[in-house]
Structure 1
Amino acid sequence: MLTRKCLGITSLVSFGLIAGCSSDSSTTPKDDLADITENITNPCVYDGYTAMQGANGETMCLDAEGTLAFWINDDGSYGFPEASQGSDSTDGTSSNEEEGSSTPNESETSTPAETSTTCTTEKALYTVNGISYYKNDDGSLYYFDADCNKASLTAATPASSSSISEDSETAASSASQTGSSSESATANSSAATAPSTSNGNVPSITYATSGATVENNNSCVTVTGGEVVITCAGDYDFSGSYSGADAQIRVYSPKSDSGVYLNLRGLTLTNTADAPIYSQMSSKTFVVPKNGTTNTLSDGSTRTKSYTYVNSNNETKVDTTGACIYAKDDLTIKGEGTLIVKGNYNNGIHTSNDLRVKNGIVTVTAKNNGLKGKESVSISGGTLNITTSNGDGIKSDADDATDLAAGKGSIEITGGEITINSKYDGITANNAIVVAEGESTTPTIKVTSGGGQTCLSQSSSGNGGGMGGGFGGGFGMGGSSCSPDSSMKGFKADSSIAISGGVIEINSRDDGIHSDGNITLSGGKMTIKSDDDGVHAEKALYVKDNANVSVTMAYEGMESPDMNFEGGITSVITTDDGWNAAGGTSTTTGGNTGRGGPGGGWGMGGGSTGKLTVTGGYHYIYVGTGDTDGVDSNGDINISGGVIIVECRMNGGMGGMVDSDGSTSIKNAKLLGFGTNNSEEGTQYSVNFTTENYYGTSEIAFKPSFSGSKMVSSVGQPGVVNSVSGMNKTCFGDDESRCVYTK
């Protein structure tokens, strides 16, 4: 006779007929349901079973010997007869219902239940949804109707039997694929509980000194000491406190189910040898810290245990948990409570698929990475505090070429308040990073990577007095980046970075924002300080629309072989070049911006090329003393719009306020440059300027932060501007004294 092992039959799962696990909030589109049922010819799905119509419309599935194996209710839920077989239950409520069937409504049970037991003294073979069934001499099943007429079962049709509910909370709940799970510590192993079916209850699991206990068991919870194994979809409540090598909530639920919700209602779970939460298999697992509760999860600092199990593809896998919360399938953190995760072994929260954070207060400390979704990470809300002692803050690192082409390995942030203090990169993706405004939320991100910007500093020496706007003194000699050998960037992506919203603060030992491909900044407010580049794109950089970017300290402010400023407001303060269009491959040598010079700086003849284009926006550039350039390109410079202020304190070498190794065109733009030495490009004027006055023309005015004698202007002869009244004021960064006035 078929027992609960029938849940593992692949054909059941493939067609998603059995939908008996307890409800959750997942969804299954109706189009998908149509696809599921389109080609079903046998309502019982797999060969060797006969589908018969039950008295209340359910489909009764009989094996080759005519024995009832299971039944499928009209709403898609199902039940098993083993608990009531041979019983003489006469109260209209079969014990089967506690094992797996949905509770029938009154219209289904009242009349038949009253009549079937009064029509005969024969002992019922099965009781299904309140109806008693008996067997004829020929082996066929029958029951009695309300008038005590004997009625034989008739063959069920696909339409009547496979009535999968279109309710999203039940349609996706279905049986598990065949498989068993085992875990082993060294050479010892024990079989894990196979997937089961829920009776609709919401279990409550409480931890205490002796381990876990469960109330309202829905037939899907197995407890062994401190180990809790969940084998089908639905809600599960957890509370209490426990510490031990067996302190683990393990999910082994069919991938065809709609999801497992681990509701944390004041739980402290410390696994001294392994992961306290391990989702071995599920369509998706939700970790839900409930409102008003604080929940703490800690894992062991070593791993000696491995798990052998059969996955959804019927493949035998051997696994070792690599995080405090460790999942093989989709994982979502949601809930309005507090979740504290202590990853003492490796990562804090890890999934091999997609990781989503929707809300809640989540604090993660991890030895390696804080959050890792190998396929993707999506954050739309919540308050996240992430600290790593030897890894990255948030990471997605899919490396399969097909997956990358499909967009895997990416991170998307559309909400939340995120604070990261990481040993290495703050946010890193093998594909793309996207930061954008959510439907009703603005993400706030604060990253400190590698201990933050530490080795570049302002100097009290410098030329021509102190800087205005609260800078104190001028910068010391520029030229040498002091970034580390390891990657300690704020944002790092292999493919692209696109930021269109949010408030972002980056303090990085390495580049602030770095992409091996393109960077597009079109919105949001970014504040960056770095010991290397503020913003660095290996292919192309685009700044446009409403982007507001302020690099408050960097070796070089922004760098890319193809730089495009179409809009936005930017400011950079650097010890070397402000804007550096360099890095592309060149067939010729020459130029003064190729890395390889003394001290790790950019030396002569780097062989790179570049292109810099400005068509709009408001931009401020300040560079320190030494061989420094404000606007620098290893190729052409084309400025045809926008407003640009350059303060260049170069006191040696070549370049100055504007420097190009190719052609330079400055037309229809407002550019003012203030320098202490000659500029290689642009129309230069000998104008003595101080920090006391505004300088420019009737179209543009700016008060410099140091004194000098050289100016570059694209709007004619500059001089003192006595009044800026009636002009438009645009400030850079958060400094109200560093503003340009334009008409």
Structure 2
Amino acid sequence: MNTIKRNRKNRLSKLAVVALCTAMLAACGSNTTATTSTDSTAAATNTSQTTAASVQTASLDLSNSKVEYDEDDAYSDWNASEATTIKLNGTTATVEGTGAETKDGSVSITAAGTYVVSGKLDDGQIVVNVADEGVVRLILNGAEIHYSTSSPIYVEEAGKLILSLPEGTNNVVSDGTAYELADASTDEPNAAIFSKDDMTINGTGKLTVEGNYNNGIASKDKLKITGGTFEIHAADDAVMGRDLVAVKDGLFVIDAKGHGIKTTNDTEGEEGLIALEGGTYSIESGEDALHSTGGLLVSGGDLHIAAGDDAIHSEIALLISGGMVDITQSNEGLEAGSITIAGGEVHVVSSDDGVNAASGSSDTDGAAGEMPQEGAAPADMPPADMPPADMPQDGTAPADMGQGGGPRGGGMPGGEGSSNNLLTITGGYLSVDAQGDGLDANGGIAMSGGTVVVNGPTMNGNGSLDYDSTFEMTGGVLIAAGSSGMVQAVSDSSTQAGILMTYPQTQQAGTLIHLEDEAGNAIVTFAPSKDYQAVYISSPDMKKDTAYSLYSGGTSNGTETNGLYDGGNYSGGTKVVSFTAASTITWVNESGVTEASSGFGGRGRGGDRQVESTQS
């Protein structure tokens, strides 16, 4: 429930739609190009929702923005006769060639060029300081660099640093737990590999980074990675860029006490951008696994995330259009002011909301106090298997209540939902296992395609679906099973049919739900992974003015994925109810179709329902 969130952080203030579009495109910087989307998914937005349409269009435009990689961002072999070699030998180093010199066990590079580093440096650093801002290519050809009092690799000035990892090489960069800073007021450098300018990492070799002081790899400008194998341990953030972190390929094992991958530029109109086009990631973080001050794009890759806070968090907009994201631990799985899921496969396990479209102060609203720990219900809240005291036992809602008998936030007094916050689902596959709300929008939700499966919550203070304005569904498959105290169906303005079934008692996890039409055609067969008392089902196969039967229990020999069965035969279940769906969105209990009046702030069912049922 939006008004009783716990463990929240202050977010940016509510953003106007125009500012959102401008900021997101600007965040790509000079190395990105934005093109207008021509994808059919743009049709997902209902034209009656002007604000929603604007936000969704901004996200789709962003999905076609591409980070431009320069020719030298790709790895290439080097000519030994044209490169300067730097050989590390314990406490000393030798240089063969021009552009670099050694002093007191450290190496200083002062000219553009290619430098090949090999050997081990026990306590020293490589400093790049090129006054004409030329490009420096630093090739780690089996190098181990440790410096106890500052960054082992430190770029003070250069037009660009290219850090290359040749095939078959193992390289290690590590620092100490305390730095001796020349200017303590700026706390720079603050990473084992630190660049004040653009940095690209390429190749197929391995780089191990031990950021014992603060961060692992950091750029004060743009950071691009086109390949390599990385093992990064950080006392704070593992990988950080001010304006941009873009990954085209690579294998990453990240263990961070702070954020896993992060951008830091929060200047309005210039916010940072994370763009993951490919790569394989295993991220464990004490804070957010991915954290962007502006936009966050996942168009490919294979991500495995266990986060202490949010798994994927963006202050402005998040788009997932491809790849695989497996979140096994998080406070909130996905969070941003605008979230678009257009493709890929996403699995979320969260101790709070699974997917949360929220920004500004709207997700810190504490009008109803703190959420109890360990999912416990407040003293005045009924248990999950008992309807609120003023809700009729037949599952219908009283006249003064919203959907499911529980007043929600949104347009109600004290609600702070922002209409600019939008969750848009146009494709892909999303499964959510949430202790808090499953899909939560401090604004609206629009779904036109894809498959979404929600399990949870089990306590009545949250709902599988939670939105402040409207949830317009025009396509796709949605199954959301959880508690009934704050249950919501999608909005009546939806064009695709759906049903909301409320049971008189809690159903045990694993108990099959089977919906079929009057001809015996299976619509959905689903086994929730958690206890549930309400389920919302919507599928393109469902139609208004059609008779349906809902069954409980039994078995299916179809192919099961996250509880959802495909094909096969269903048998052995008990018919719970038969009914005719006289409306696009139909509310049902064991007695048949039910009625409820409109709720606050778009949360009610809107419109009356005609009761037309057949007892089973």
* Pairwise CA distance, 1:419: 1.3
Structure 2 CA distance for partners of 1:649 and 1:368, relative to 1, 3 Å: farther
Cα distance change, pair 569–255 in 1 and its aligned pair in 2 (3 A)? farther
Q: What secondary structure does 1:288 align onto? A: strand
Match of 1:344 in 2: 212
Q: Is the 8 A contact 2:526 2:563 kept in 1?
A: no
Q: Report the alpha carbon displacement of residue 612 of structure 1 after superposing the two structures with TM.
A: 1.0
Whether 1:559 aligns to 2:450 is: no
- Give the deviation of 1:739 after TM superposition: 6.9
Letter of the 1:361 partner, please give it.
T
Identify the residue that residue 265 of structure 2 maps to in structure 1: 398
Mapping 1:493-512, distance limit 5 Å: 493-512=314-333
Contact 1:387–1:422 under 8 Å retained in 2: yes
Tell me if 1:528 matches 2:405.
no
* Aligned: 1:334 with 2:334: no
1:718 and 2:539 correspond: no
Question: Quick one: distance in 2 between partners of 1:233 and 1:340?
Answer: 26
Aligned to 1:3: none
Cross-structure match for 2:415 = none
- Separation in 2 of the partners of 1:731 and 1:567? 21
Cα separation, partners in 2 of 1:224 and 1:513, compared to 1, 3 Å: same
Q: Distance in 2 between matches of 1:254 and 1:229?
A: 13
Flag structure 1 segments of 5+ consecutive residues without an equivalent: 1-28, 30-167, 170-198, 309-316, 438-442, 451-487, 583-608, 653-674, 677-689
Give the aligned residue type for 2:353: D
Give the Å deviation of 1:622. 1.4
Q: Give the whole-Å Cα distance in 2 for the aligned partners of 1:261 and 1:580.
A: 51
**Alignment partner of 1:638 is 2:493:** yes
Taking the aligned partners of 2:532 and 2:174, their CA distance within structure 1 comes to 60
Per-residue CA deviations over 1:104-133 (Å, capped at 9, x if unaligned) read: xxxxxxxxxxxxxxxxxxxxxxxxxxxxxx
* 1:732 CA displacement: 7.5
Tell me the residue number matched to 2:422. Answer: 540
Deviations 1:170-220 (A, max 9, x none): xxxxxxxxxxxxxxxxxxxxxxxxxxxxx98411111112311112x12x1
Distance 1:507 1:345, change over 3 A: same
The verdict on how the C-alpha distance between 1:284 and 1:741 changes in structure 2, with shifts beyond 3 A counting, is farther
Rg (Cα) greater in structure: 1
Q: CA deviation at 1:695?
A: 4.2
Cα distance in 2 for partners of 1:735, 1:496 equals 30
Structure 1 residues 125-160: Cα deviation after superposition (integer angstroms, max 9, x where no partner): xxxxxxxxxxxxxxxxxxxxxxxxxxxxxxxxxxxx
Are the counterparts in 2 of residues 569 and 732 from structure 1 also a CA contact under 8 Å? Answer: no
1:417 aligns with 2:280: yes
Give the number of aligned pairs. Answer: 416
Cα gap change, 1:224/1:563 in structure 2, threshold over 3 Å: closer, same or farther? same
Deviation at 1:305, TM superposition (A): 3.3
Residue number among 201, 206, 217 corresponding to 2:87 in the alignment:
206
Shift of 1:402: 4.1
- Report the counterpart of residue 267 of structure 1 in structure 2: 143
CA contact (8 A) 2:153 2:193 kept: yes
- The answer for the alignment partner of 1:367 in structure 2 is 235
Conserved? CA contact 1:628–1:649, under 8 Å: no
Structure 1 residues 680-699: aligned runs within 5 Å: 691=512, 695-698=516-519, 699=521
User: Letter of the aligned partner of 2:128 in structure 1?
Assistant: V
What SS is found at the alignment partner of 1:275? coil
Matched residue type, 2:102: V
1:638 is paired with a residue whose SS is coil
Q: CA separation in 2, counterparts of 1:708 and 1:297?
A: 50
**Superposition pairs of residues 116-135 of structure 1, within 5 angstroms:** none
Native 8 Å contact 1:621 1:647 kept in 2 = no
* C-alpha distance 570-252 of structure 1, shift in aligned 2 (>3 A): same
8 Å contact kept, 1:410–1:429: yes
Distance 1:559 1:360 in 2: 37
Aligned counterpart in structure 2 of residue 248 of structure 1, from 107, 122, 125: 125
Aligned to 1:114: none
Q: Secondary structure at the match of 1:567?
A: coil
Change (3 A) 1:738 1:330: same
CA RMSD for the aligned pairs?
Answer: 3.6
Q: 1:243 to 1:738 in 2, by over 3 A?
A: same
Separation in 2, partners of 1:709, 1:252: 65
Once the two structures are TM-superposed, the CA of residue 740 in structure 1 deviates from its matched residue by 9.9
Q: 1:544–1:565: 8 Å Cα contact kept in structure 2?
A: yes
**How far off its partner does 1:632 sit?**
4.2
CA distance in 2, matches of 1:358, 1:710: 47
Between the aligned partners of 1:242 and 1:710, the Cα distance in structure 2 is 63
What CA distance in whole angstroms lies between the structure 2 residues aligned with 1:552 and 1:352?
Answer: 37
2: CA distance, partners of 1:645 / 1:333: 51
Aligned pair in 2 of structure 1 residues 205, 531: CA closer, same or farther (>3 Å)?
Answer: same
What does residue 314 of structure 1 align with? none
* Residues 472-521 of structure 1: per-residue CA shift (max 9 Å, x gap): xxxxxxxxxxxxxxxx1001011100110000111333110000x21110
Question: How far apart are the structure 1 equivalents of 2:513 and 2:304?
Answer: 36
- Contact 1:323–1:345 under 8 Å retained in 2: yes
User: 1:302 & 1:248 partners in 2: Cα distance?
Assistant: 15
The alpha-carbon distance between structure 1 residues 627 and 294, as it changes in their structure 2 partners (threshold 3 A), is same
- What is aligned with 1:444? 302
In structure 1, give the amino acid aligned to 2:424.
Y
Matched, 1:580 2:461: no
- Code of the residue aligned with 1:403 in structure 2: it is E
* 3-state SS of paired residue (1:381): coil
Q: Distance in 2 between matches of 1:265 and 1:650?
A: 68
Aligned mates of 2:318, 2:117 — CA distance in 1: 39
How do 1:528-677 and structure 2 match up within 5 A? 528-538=348-358, 539-545=421-427, 547-560=428-441, 561-576=443-458, 577-582=462-467, 609-624=468-483, 627-629=485-487, 631-632=488-489, 636-641=491-496, 651=505
Deviation at 1:393, TM superposition (A): 0.5
**When the two structures are superposed, what TM-score results if normalisation uses the length of structure 2?**
0.61
Q: Which has the higher contact order (CA 8 A, sep 6+)?
A: 2
Question: What is the match of residue 80 of structure 1?
Answer: none
Q: Secondary structure at the match of 2:270?
A: helix
Shift of 1:731: 7.1
List per-residue Cα deviations over 1:364-389 (Å, max 9, x = no partner). Answer: 1000000000111101100011111x
Cα distance in 1, alignment partners of residues 526 and 561 from structure 2: 16
Please give the per-residue CA displacement for 1:659-681, whole angstroms capped at 9, x wherever unaligned.
xxxxxxxxxxxxxxxx89xxxxx
Taking the aligned partners of 1:273 and 1:708, their CA distance within structure 2 comes to 56
Residue 403 of structure 1 aligns to a residue whose secondary structure is coil
- Alpha-carbon distance change, 427 to 287 in structure 1, aligned in 2, over 3 angstroms: same
Q: Give the letter for the 1:716 counterpart.
A: A
Verify the 8 A CA contact 1:419 1:445 in the aligned structure 2.
yes
SS of the residue aligned with 1:305?
coil
* Deviation by residue 1:583-628 (Cα, 9 ceiling, x = unmatched): xxxxxxxxxxxxxxxxxxxxxxxxxx3211110001111114x625
Unaligned runs of 5+ in 2: 1-30, 32-70, 73-79, 359-420, 571-616
Matches within 5 A, 1:120-199: none
Deviations 1:369-414 (A, max 9, x none): 00000111101100011111x311000020222423xxxx110000
| Whole-Å separation in 1 of the counterparts to 2:290 and 2:493 | 33
Work out whether 1:386 is the aligned partner of 2:386.
no
Measure the CA separation in 2 of the matches of 1:502 and 1:229. Answer: 41
Q: 1:435 aligns with which of 274, 282, 298?
A: 298
Change (3 A) 1:740 1:233: farther
Aligned equivalents of 2:311 and 2:356: distance in 1? 11
Q: Write the mapping of 1:226-237 to structure 2, written as runs, cut at 5 A.
A: 226-237=105-116
Superposed CA offset, 1:253-278 (max 9, x none) = 14542x11110111111101111100
